[in-house]
Amino acid sequence: MSESKQDTLPAVDLTAEAAEKARQFMAEEDLLPESAGLRVSVLPGGCSGFQYGLNIEEKPRDDDEVRVSHGIRLFIDPFSLQYLSGTVIGYASSFQGSGFTFNNPNAAGGCGCGSSFAV
C-alpha cells in the first residue's frame, strides 16, 4: 500500500479558536462546514515577498489538497501547499484588533503586519 501525498507532508492545522471563528464566518454566509471550507493560500506580494490569503469557499477546486482540522475543511492549492506544510493557523483578539495568525515553520522572515513572509 503506497502512501498518499497527504501522509507524507506535514499538516496544515487550525487552532480550536481559529476553527470556531471559521465556523462562525461560514454560518454567516449560510455555508455548511461539511461541504464548504477555508481556502488557505500563499500569494506573491506583500512587503516580504509572499502574503497569506484566507477565503471561505463553497467547494474545493479540482487540484486542491483538502485537509480537515477541528472539523473545518481546508482547501490548499499545490503552489501554496509547498509553503504552508507544518503551518498552524490561529486567531487572536486584542485591543489593537483581531484576526487570523500564521505560525509557519517555512518562513525565513516576515514583517510587522503578520500577513507577509519570506522563504
Instruction: Dump pLDDT digits (tens) for 16-74.
Output: 999 999 999 999 999 988 899 999 999 887 666 788 899 999 999 999 999 999 999 99
Q: What is the pTM of this model?
A: 0.81
Label each residue of the chain as H, E or C. CCCCHHHHCCCCEECHHHHHHHHHHHHHCCCCCCCCEEEEEEEECCCCCEEEEEEEECCCCCCCEEEEECCEEEEECHHHHHHHCCCEEEEEEECCEEEEEEECCCCCEECCCCCEEEC
Name which CATH class applies to 10-118. mainly beta
